[in-house]
Every structure is written in structure tokens, then in C-alpha cells.
Homo-oligomer: A and B are copies of this chain.
């Protein structure tokens, strides 16, 4: 919780950066992402309206930090979900379930992670070919690599094909997560975590064994 009983007296806050991030999640959860304001975060952290600029270059930088936090958490959740599962197919399912669960448990982070608009224009027409496919910051990509490896194993493919298979295995939970966050699933079908896990599993297996 936001426990600022002691620190209110001191000039220096001590952990403002983290508290701002927390406040941002709180505000975004209440008012939506487009209702998030740095000043409100500062208010909740008990500091002046310009204090955040000592920790973040601008508002986008704060959102970016939240996104990276989310990337790390998701990667960890994915790894944990897949750990110890030998069957590649089951591993893929476990990842998908964990993915959707993460999105539902951290909707603000998830939405920020997939909002783009933090790098460039909406359409993504910028020629970002060469700077994007090199060594990456082991967060989500680590999890993605694991996904690709599992997909490759499950489909018996390699290289190019395996990559597409991994990507395809990403689409399903991602789509489900997005639709869930947008309230496109009747609430009686997605009220509890158990229901959501169940739904994820159903969708994942339906997609695979399709017909």
C-alpha cells in the first residue's frame, strides 16, 4: 500500500521512482491509460508536480519503464509456467495460459507493453529493419525464444518455419488477452481466474485441433 506516514517530513523521498511507477499503475487502473497524468502520480506520491522529472525524462519514459517492468514479469511468468514440462505441446499451452493470466492480472502493464506509439508513428512504416533484429534486451525476447523453441519442437520444424510457428503460438494467447482486456468476453465466462485459465486452455486446444 501507499504508506507515507514517515517520509512526509523529509525533503528527500527515498524511493520516489518506484512509488511513481506504482502510482501510475493505480491511476491508469482507475481512469484508464489516457487518463493518466504525471501530476496526479506526483500528487499521490506526495511530491511536487515537477519532481517526476528527476526520475523520468518525460511521460513516455515513465510508461516505457512500466513496459519494461511488464516485459520482465511476463518473461519470468512464461519461464516459470514452462519450467519442468517435457512435452512441447503442453509447454506451449502452459505458456499461453500464463500469458493470458498475466494480461488479466496486470492489465495496465500489458496494455502499455503493446501500445507502441512510444517509439514511432502508428503505422510502423519506419524502416526499423536492422536495429530491431539484433541482440535484444533479454526480457520478452528471452521468453519469445523459448516459445519459438517449443513451437519448433512441437511442429517438428526449424529455422524460418519454426519462427513462424512460434509467432503463431503467440497470436492466440495475445488475441485472447486483448479481447479479455477489452471486455469482449461475456463476464459470466471470465469472472474468476479459474474460468479464465479454462477458457485459455479451451481456445488454445480448439485452435490446434481445430476441426
Residue ranges of A at the interface with B (Cβ–Cβ < 8 Å): 28-35, 89, 107-108, 111, 114-117, 119-124, 127-129, 132-133, 154-155, 164-165, 167-168, 170-179, 181-188, 199, 202-203, 206-211
Contacts and interface: CB of A to CB of B under 8 A. Distances in A.
A154 to B, nearest CB: 6
Contact of A122 (B28, B119, B120): B28
A171 B165 contact: no
Contacts of A122: 28-29, 32-33, 107-108, 111, 181
Contact of A211 (B115, B154, B202): B154
A139 to B, nearest CB: 13
A119 B183 contact: yes
Given A29-B121, A122-B181, 6 more contacts: A29-B123, A32-B117, A165-B206, A170-B175, A171-B203, A172-B172
8 contacts: A33-B117, A89-B210, A89-B211, A107-B122, A124-B187, A132-B186, A168-B202, A174-B175
Contacts of A182: 114-116, 124
B116 A207 contact: no
The 5 closest A-B pairs by CB, nearest first: A175-B175, A171-B175, A32-B117, A174-B175, A124-B183
Nearest to A36: B34
Nearest to A144: B184
A190 B6 CA distance: 54
A173 B175 contact: yes
Contacts of A164: 199, 202-203, 206
Contacts of A154: 210-211
B32 A34 contact: no
Nearest to A116: B182
